[in-house]
Each structure stands twice: as C-alpha cells, then as structure tokens.
Amino acid sequence: MAKQVINTDRVASSASALCIADNNINGAFDTLQKQAKQLNDNWKGAAGTVAQTTMCGLFQYNETRSNVIQNYFNMLQQQVNPGYINAEDVNTKLADKFK
C-alpha cells in the first residue's frame, strides 16, 4: 500500500485562500450588481430588458457558486483537517504501545 501523507497546514492555507477568493468574487459581483442597477435605470427598451435579465441570471448563479465554495471550505476546515489529525493521533498512540 502506498504511503499517503497530507499536509494539514497546507490544507488550512488553501481553504483560507479559497475563502478569500470567494469573498473577492462576491465583492466584484456586488459592484457589478450596483452598476447593472444604474444601467437598468437608464437603459430603457427591449435590449435593456434582455441585458438586465441576463445579468440577473448571472447574479443568481453567483450565489450558487459561492454556496458550493463555502461548503467545500467548511468540509476542509471541519472534517478533512480535524479528521486526519485525529486519525494520526490515534495511530501514533497505537504505535507507541508496541514500542
């Protein structure tokens, strides 16, 4: 069986970077939403309606994207790292009993 090693510090660092990236994307989408509202207030007509509808759909999918990233971040922080650390602690204690 191949040896598997996980770097828990790197997992935590990557999870934090993922969270920061998600926050940055959300900030950019908030700015876009404000600009889209201004555009909608000034752009009347069929083309404006189509553009607004398209942008609203894009904003809706951003929320879904953000939820997926948050779920992944939570899994890394709450299950992967603690689970691995706990398993390693138990394995070390068991190995120490055979020394």
Residues of the chain with pLDDT under 70: 1
Task: Express each pLDDT in 1-17 by its tens digit.
Answer: 677 777 888 888 999 99
87 in a structural domain: no
Residue 19 lies in a domain: no
pLDDT for 24: 97
Note whether residue 9 is domain-resident: no
Q: What confidence score (pLDDT) does residue 70 get?
A: 93
Whether 46 is in a domain gets the answer yes
For residue 15, being part of any structural domain is answered with: no
Residue 36 lies in domain: 29-81
- Assess if residue 35 is contained within a domain: yes
Question: What's the confidence (pLDDT) of residue 9?
Answer: 85
Full-model pTM: 0.70
3-state SS class at 4: coil
**Tell me, what's the pLDDT at 1?**
63
Q: Is residue 3 part of a domain?
A: no
CA of 6: how far to CAs of 33, 37, 53, 65, 82, in Å? 40, 46, 45, 27, 12
Domain count, the chain: 1
